[in-house]
Amino acid sequence: MKFESPTTQRVMFLTGLIVTVLADQISKLYIRISVPEGAWRNIIPGCVAITHRLNQGIAFSFFHHINAAPVIFSLIALGAVGFITWLVIKHPKLPRKVIIALGLIGGGAAGNMIDRIIPPHKVVDFIDCYAGTLHWPAFNIADSAICIGAGLLVLASFTDPQAFSRPASSPPVSSETI
């Protein structure tokens, strides 16, 4: 398992987070400018299209009917980004794939949070994967980054399981010490 110095680890994390946010926001800006809302443009026939959909909810438009959804999910995203940043700072010996995964997840959460903060307070989804008449719910680069980051964490749990363990120098927490 390859460890980076704490400074390198933080730079890798921030780079992943910032690149993810920039790619997400630039792609969404392009969609807002060039694709009318509700439009659909075939990119790879029978497989991938570009669309322009606004989503007030979370994944698969869950909770879209809740008026306070943008505020609630922005606060959750802010908490998630803060917690992930704290993890990277608190744990200076994380494997490279965990650092990259956390940068992608944090960047994805921040990218969608930005959409919820600025009017119209809805996330822009534009990638439409389909087969025939079966369509996967539209998604964006932030969603993809979160999924890829989660996949990397699952992979790391198998390839670097010690990264998810308490260091040997840390005593276990018992009910008597709380």
Q: Which residues are marked as active site?
A: 125, 143
Give the Cα separation of 131 and 124 in Å (integer).
22
- CB atoms under 10 Å from CB of 51, counted, come to 17
Write down the H helix ranges in the chain. Answer: 6-34, 69-90, 96-117, 141-159
DSSP 119: T
Give the Cα separation of 95 and 152 in Å (integer).
11
With residue 5 as reference, give the H or E element that holds it. Answer: none
